[in-house]
Structures are given as structure tokens and as C-alpha cells.
Amino acid sequence: AQRVTQPEKLLSVFKGAPVELKCNYSYSGSPELFWYVQYSRQRLQLLLRHISRESIKGFTADLNKGETSFHLKKPFAQEEDSAMYYCALANFGNEKLTFGTGTRLTIIP
């Protein structure tokens, strides 16, 4: 069975400090990994996907198959980064997303 684990429910970081949101997964096939963000009272939005290897709003995430991790990182946190962040996994070619429990990131001014 596939599973996504986000060990931190809450994370507080000072503005300008580095951010790392942890995500580990268990899956036997070739997973697709994603990070979704939910700002206050807004919808879930796709932030990053591992296959595109892009940087969005200064965030990056590298898939580490050896450690089965897909941690989200940003070198300098900004106040507008405060939100709920969800790591998610999909079977390649399948439709279903499996989400982690989410991490609420708070940036302290």
C-alpha cells in the first residue's frame, strides 16, 4: 500500500531563515510526487511536481529514491509562505492522489 508521511504537523520559521518541510513515502512502483499548498481559506494548489524539477516561489524539492523522501526546501522564508503544505503521491499513469497529513508552516516576522 502506498503511504505518505509528513512528520511535522506544525513548523514555525523566522522570516529570512531556511525552510525544510519533510515528506517520506512508501510505494513499490514508480511514484510521482507532488507538493500542494493551501493558503488560508483558499483551494489546494499544485506547488511542485518532481518530474519537472522546477522552482516555484523559491521552493525546490528533490526526489531521493534511496531515502524515499521528497522534502520541500526554500533558502529564505517569506511571510507569504505561511500556509498548509501537503505532500502527495500518485501511481504513474493512475488517477488517485495519496496525501500526507500536511504541515502548517508559519513564518514569524
Residues that bind other proteins (CB under 8 A): 32, 34, 42-46, 49, 51, 86, 88, 90-102
Closest CA to 25 of 59, 75, 64: 64
Paired sense of beta strands 97-99 and 31-38, if any: unpaired
Paired sense of beta strands 45-49 and 60-61, if any: unpaired
* CA distance readout (Å), 64 to 11, 67, 72, 81: 22, 6, 12, 24
CB atoms near residue 5 (< 10 Å): 14
Closer CB to other proteins, 41 or 109, in the complex? 41
Closer CB to other proteins, 36 or 77, in the complex? 36
Closest separation in Å from C-beta 50 to other proteins: 10
Closest separation in Å from C-beta 54 to other proteins: 13
Closer CB to other proteins, 8 or 99, in the complex? 99
Closest separation in Å from C-beta 51 to other proteins: 8
Closer CB to other proteins, 40 or 109, in the complex? 40
Closest separation in Å from C-beta 47 to other proteins: 12
